[in-house]
């Protein structure tokens, strides 16, 4: 069974940094583009970023462009989201997700809270 | 950026009802549209992709249609497990989600 396990969330002060990780198992990680999607408390889903299988293509939502950096390590079957200059509006559950058409597989999410 | 607009935002219905949720894209996305179901505290679950293809294991009472800019999700006969929030998503250009439709028990 495909597994995606996020980690690295927590409470962080505005302006500080945090790095999220997503560990993948039970599928050929290196064949799939990967995404982060976030959900603020009581709000809807927001796509954050995408990275292609070989890291040659990376996209970001306008709301995080210039502050977040997405990367992956196919040998370690891991996805990373470096989040800098965090703001209160970045507070959300962050999901790692992938699929061939639509997002079939999702992790359980990791909560990031930006607050002083 | 492509904006996705769902309607209604909230829908009250009863078990056995037929319900339809609409999603509109701000520009054509061909059929690169997916529908998700989300329950509180859980990750979203993919129901339909490519506008009308049912994901494996999803009950046949769920169906999707549309292309270009107008799409619909229909549940033919509501079951108790179907009361949840539903989102559409375009994946034609990057990705973006609709704001969600909360399906409540009447």
Could you tell me if A20 and A80 are in contact, meaning their C-beta atoms sit under 8 angstroms apart?
yes
Q: Where does the pLDDT of residue B54 fall: very low under 50, low under 70, confident under 90, or very high at 90 and above?
A: very high
Longest CA–CA span in chain B (Å) reads: 38
Q: Where does the pLDDT of residue B34 fall: very low under 50, low under 70, confident under 90, or very high at 90 and above?
A: very high
% of chain B with per-residue pLDDT over 70: 100
pLDDT of A104: 97
Could you tell me if A8 and A19 are in contact, meaning their C-beta atoms sit under 8 angstroms apart?
yes
* pLDDT tens track, chain A, 116 positions: 999 999 999 999 999 999 999 999 998 999 999 999 999 999 999 999 999 999 999 999 999 999 999 999 999 999 999 999 999 999 999 999 999 899 999 999 999 999 99
Mutation pick from B43, B89, B90 vs chain A, by most beta carbons of A within 10 Å, is B43
The residue whose two tokens read 């699929």 is A99
Q: Where does the pLDDT of residue B95 fall: very low under 50, low under 70, confident under 90, or very high at 90 and above?
A: very high
Cα of A58 to nearest chain B Cα, Å? 10
Report how far residue A24's alpha carbon sits from residue A76's, in angstroms, rounded to the nearest whole number. 9
**Which secondary-structure segment (H or E) carries A114?**
strand A110-114
Report how far residue B80's alpha carbon sits from residue B86's, in angstroms, rounded to the nearest whole number. 15
User: b or e along A93-104 (b: 16 or more beta carbons within 10 Å of the residue's beta carbon)?
Assistant: bbbbbbbeebbb
Report how far residue A92's alpha carbon sits from residue A10's, in angstroms, rounded to the nearest whole number. 10
Cα of A4 to nearest chain B Cα, Å? 11
pLDDT of B68: 97
pLDDT of B20: 98
Could you tell me if A27 and A17 are in contact, meaning their C-beta atoms sit under 8 angstroms apart?
no
From B31, B44, B40, select the one nearest B91 (Cα to Cα): B31
Sheet holding A3-7, edge to edge: A3-7, A18-25, A78-83, A68-73
% of chain B with per-residue pLDDT over 90: 97
Phi, psi at residue A5, to the nearest 5°?
-125, 115
What mean pLDDT is reported for chain B? Answer: 97
Cα of A41 to nearest chain B Cα, Å? 10
Q: CB–CB of B55 and A104 under 8 A?
A: yes
Q: Where does the pLDDT of residue B7 fall: very low under 50, low under 70, confident under 90, or very high at 90 and above?
A: very high
């Amino acid at each position: 069974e495909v597994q995606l396990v996020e980690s690295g969330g927590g409470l962080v002060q505005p302006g500080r940094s945090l790095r999220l990780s997503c560990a993948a198992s039970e599928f050929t990680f290196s064949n799939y583009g990967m995404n982060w999607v976030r959900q603020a408390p009581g709000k809807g889903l927001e796509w954050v970023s995408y990275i292609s299988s070989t890291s040659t293509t990376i996209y970001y939502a306008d709301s995080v462009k210039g502050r977040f950096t997405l990367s992956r390590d196919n040998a370690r079957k891991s996805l990373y989201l470096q989040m800098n200059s965090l703001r209160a509006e970045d507070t959300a559950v962050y999901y790692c997700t992938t699929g061939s058409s639509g997002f079939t597989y999702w992790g359980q999410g990791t909560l990031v809270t930006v607050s002083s | 950026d492509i904006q996705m607009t769902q309607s209604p935002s909230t829908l009250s219905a009863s078990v056995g009802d037929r319900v339809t949720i609409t999603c509109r894209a701000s520009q054509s996305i061909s059929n690169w549209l997916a529908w998700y179901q989300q329950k509180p505290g859980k990750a979203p679950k993919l129901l339909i992709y490519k506008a009308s293809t049912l994901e494996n294991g999803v009950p046949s009472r769920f169906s999707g249609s549309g292309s270009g800019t107008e799409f619909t999700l229909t549940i033919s006969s509501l079951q108790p497990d179907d009361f949840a929030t539903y989102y559409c998503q375009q994946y034609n250009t990057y990705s973006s989600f609709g704001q969600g439709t909360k399906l409540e028990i009447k």
